[in-house]
Amino acid sequence: MTSHPNPRPLPVPAPAHADPLSDTRGRALRDLRISVTDRCNFRCTYCMPKEVFGKDFQFLERGALLSFGEINRLVRLFRDQGVEKIRITGGEPLVRRKLEVLIEMLAYWDDLDLTLTTNGSLLAQKAQALKDAGLKRVTVSLDSLDDTVFRAMNDVDFPVARVLEGIEAADRAGLAPIKVNMVVKRGVNDHTVVDMARFFKGSGHILRFIEFMDVGSTNGWQMQHVVPSRELVSRLDEVFGIESLDPNYTGEVAERWRYRDGSGEVGFISSVTQAFCRDCTRARLSAEGSLYTCLFATRGTDLRALLRADASDEEISAQIARIWRARTDRYSEIRTEDTAKQRKVEMSYIGG
Ligand code: SAM
Ligand code: SF4
Ligand code: SF4
């Protein structure tokens, strides 16, 4: 693999802060989601609809993207501020060339939980290299096992079978436990929910149902398209019998349930019908280095400018701390049909 950019030997532990970072609502900064590209090889209708993200859409130029070295530096500084978990996302992170080089850099920070969310299309080729580079786990998005439904939702005619191959490759490589994310949209794929559950029940993978959200301003969101998790819980309970579990940790976004027969776990991410802003400890870094404190933000703060103006670690850390301390976000708690229509940053840009 590549030469290592971080000093050896192993990293010094992140400092214990006498005054840990906390926002205006008392929430710590624990998770950082990093979008490594705004591009994607899918055009999921709920995320990057073709009418908007067509041939003429201007994606970021390569030079606008944070380099791996810049990302690594920011990760070091965020870790010093208390971040414990890093999720690599996008766009589709596996379309960023040589992503495993970045993973290897970030894996150096061995006390960080390092994970990645992918549409799975390139996972069969990449899983082993990602594991070898130090990735711990993956989350794979898959919206249906029904090939016709899935091809229509990704809108590039991508078959289910190849995503399943990716999941198998990730499993073989040891990127487990694998989580599988299914965005549920009423009238589109909600009739395939039970089949999905049946397929993954007993597999060791954790299927999570996500309520369709009004991210960005282009996906035509309406409340009537949302299938509330409550409804899915009763459907699954009727068919299989499920019972709720305690969260693994405060701020866990998925509500955990398990099959009564002991054959595994399912999760429900209910950001529309049961907002979890109260415990939200997540920040997001866009592919061009802007920091966002909410998935539904309208504006971010440019950290790339500081990086490229040779700002010191102390200056960048102070900026991160200023932004987090001023954070007031609680969008999902105050969502209405009107706020849903407001202009927001697209999820493919900010990172899901
Ligand atoms: N391309 C990768 C993927 O699809 O897994 C990573 C980026 S994607 C934006 C991250 C996650 O956001 C995916 O699981 C996707 O299904 C979810 N997502 C995208 N748009 C959404 C929406 N409108 N509502 C709910 N979840 C959404
Ligand atoms: Fe691409 Fe993921 Fe968005 Fe689908 S959800 S368009 S795979 S970024
Ligand atoms: Fe966090 Fe914003 Fe989502 Fe609330 S709406 S949980 S603050 S990202």
Q: Whose CA is nearest to atom 3 of ligand 2?
A: 47
The closest alpha carbon to 282, from 9, 10, 35, 14, belongs to 35
User: How far does the centroid of ligand 1 lie from the alpha carbon of residue 352, in Å?
Assistant: 5
Long-range contacts of 93-99 (CB under 8 A, 24+ apart): 93/35, 93/36, 93/37, 93/117, 93/118, 94/118, 94/121, 94/122, 94/123, 94/126, 95/37, 95/39, 95/40, 95/41, 95/122, 96/36, 96/37, 96/65, 99/36, 99/126, 99/130
Of ligand 1's atoms, which has the minimum distance to the CA of residue 211?
25
Q: What is the pLDDT of residues 283-292, one digit of tens each?
A: 999 999 999 9
> Which of ligand 3's atoms lies nearest the C-alpha of 331?
5
Tell me the three-class secondary structure of 239-262, residue by residue. HHCEEECCCCCCCCCCEEEEECCC
CB of residue 274 inside a 6 A radius of ligand 3: no
Residue-level pLDDT at 9? 63
Sign of the Cα pseudo-torsion (168, 171, 177, 179, in order): negative
pLDDT, one tens digit per residue, over 189-213 is 999 999 999 999 999 999 999 999 9
- Does the Cβ of 42 fall within 6 Å of ligand 3? no
Which-ligand-closest: CA of 48? 2
Say how many Å lie between the CA of residue 40 and the centre of ligand 2.
6
| Percent of the chain surpassing pLDDT 90 | 80
Kindly give the distance from the C-alpha atom of residue 333 to the centroid of ligand 3, in angstroms, as a whole number: 8
Are the C-beta atoms of residues 190 and 184 closer than 8 Å to each other? yes
Among the bound ligands, name the one nearest to the CA of residue 38.
2
Residue 158, classed as helix, strand or coil, is coil
Q: What digits encode the pLDDT tens for the residues 32-79? A: 999 999 999 999 999 999 999 999 999 999 999 999 999 999 999 999
Sign of the C-alpha dihedral, residues 79, 81, 82, 85?
A: negative
Nearest ligand, measured from the Cα of 253: 3
User: 153, 189 in Cβ contact below 8 A?
Assistant: yes
Mutation choice for ligand 1 from 48, 150, 181, 253, CB with most ligand atoms inside 8 A: 181
Question: 175, 127 in Cβ contact below 8 A?
Answer: yes
* Ligand 3 and 255: CB distance under 6 A: no
The number of the ligand nearest the C-alpha atom of 293 reads: 3
Residue scoring higher pLDDT (170 or 20) = 170
CA distance 161 to 167: 10
Q: Of 149, 145, 170, 171, whose CA–CA distance to 160 is shortest?
A: 145
Q: How many other CB atoms sit within 10 Å of the CB of residue 148?
A: 9
With 60 as the cut, is the pLDDT of residue 4 above it?
no
Percent of the chain with pLDDT over 70: 96
Closest-CA residue, ligand 1 atom 5, reads: 118
Spatial distance between the Cα atoms of 280 and 250, rounded to a whole number of angstroms: 9
CA angle 135, 305, 92 (to 5 degrees): 35
- For ligand 1, atom 1, name the residue with the nearest CA: 92
Pick from 192, 106, 182: which is nearest to 140 by CA?
A: 182
Nearest bound ligand to CA 282?
3
**Cβ–Cβ under 8 Å, residues 85 and 32:** yes
Six-digit token pair at 166? 């990716």
> Rounded CA gap, 165 and 157, in Å?
16
Residue nearest to ligand 1 atom 12, measured at CA? 352
Q: What is the distance in A from the centroid of ligand 1 to the CA of 250? A: 23
Q: How far apart are CA 303 and CA 310, in angstroms?
A: 11
Q: Where are the beta strands (DSSP E) in 95-252?
A: 113-118, 137-141, 179-184, 206-211, 242-244
**pTM value surpassing 0.85:** yes
Task: Determine the average pLDDT of the residues in 239-247.
Answer: 94
How many other CB atoms are there within 10 angstroms of residue 85's CB atom? 15
- Does any ligand 3 atom lie closer than 6 A to the CB of residue 330? yes
DSSP 136: -
Task: Compute the radius of gyration of the chain from its Cα atoms.
Answer: 20
